[in-house]
Amino acid sequence: MSGAPGRHRRAAPSTAGTRAVIFDLDGVLTDTAELHYQSWQRMAGVLGVEFDRAANEALRGLSREESLKRFLGPRLDEFSGPRRQEIMRLKNDDYLSRVEQMTPGDLLPGISDLLPELRRRGARLAIASSSRNARRVIERLEIGHWFEVIVDGNDAPRSKPDPQLFLLAAERLGARPSACVVVEDAESGIDAALAAGMRVVGVGPRERVGRADRQVQTTGELTAELLLGD
C-alpha cells in the first residue's frame, strides 16, 4: 500500500528490532467518535448539558468515568454517584445500539491492507484500548483474527495516560517495551506509550499528536515500513 512518510517532530528512536505493533482502536482502526458524539448529544438533550463537537474531541482516549466528568463539567456535583452511574449506563446502551450497525466497511483507510502486510512480515499485533466495548467493536469490524492480544478497559483498572494498558499488551505478547511500536491518535495514549518506553506513531494533527516520535495525518499514510523500519 502507498503512503506518505511520517512527519518528524524529533529524531525518532531506531526501529531496528521492532516486531510488535500495538494499535489503539478508536481513531486508529476505526472511528467511533461520531457514534460517541451522537450518544453524548442525546444525553445532553435529556440533561440540559451544553455539548458540541469540540467538547466531544476533548473526550478522545479517556475512560468512561473521566469522560462523564468532562461531559458534566461544572455541573458534576449536581449528580449523585448513583445518578452518574445511571447516566453512564444510558449513554453506553445508546452507544452500543449504534455499534451494532457497524460493518467491516467502517475500518479507516488503509487498515484492511496494513494488518495482513504486517503479519506477512512477521509482526505480532495487539490492540490496547481504554474502551470496555472494544471487543464488540472488533467483532463488528471482523478483524479479531489479525491480533494475538486484545487488552481493553476491562483488563486494566488504570486508563491512559497511565502506561498499564500498553505494558500489559506487551507482556501478553511476550515482547519487550523497547521492541514495541504504538499507533495512537490521542494525546493521553501517546503519553501512555512514551511512559511505557515504547516508540509511538501518532495519527492526526500535530497539535494533538505532536509528542509522538513520528506523525502522520491519516491512517492511509501508515505503512509496514514506517512501523517496522524494514
Same domain, 189 and 112: yes
**How many Cα atoms within 13 Å fall on the side-chain side of residue 95?**
23
Residue at a domain's end among 99, 122, 139: 99
What are residue 216's phi and psi, to 5 degrees? Answer: -125, 155
Tens of pLDDT, residues 84-126: 999 999 999 999 999 999 999 999 999 999 999 999 999 999 9
Structural domain boundaries, residue 146: 7-31+106-228
Provide the pLDDT confidence category of residue 1 given band limits of 50, 70 and 90. Answer: very low
What are residue 47's phi and psi, to 5 degrees? Answer: -95, -10
User: Does 14 score more than 90 pLDDT?
Assistant: no
Percent of the chain clearing pLDDT 90 (strictly above):
80
Helix or strand (DSSP H, E) at 138 = helix 134-141
Tens of pLDDT, residues 140-155: 999 999 999 999 989 9
Active site residues: 24, 26
Residue at a domain's end among 57, 79, 99: 99
C-alpha cell belonging to residue 117: 502486510
Q: Between the ranges 5-14, 16-25, 29-38, 172-181, where is the mean pLDDT highest?
A: 172-181
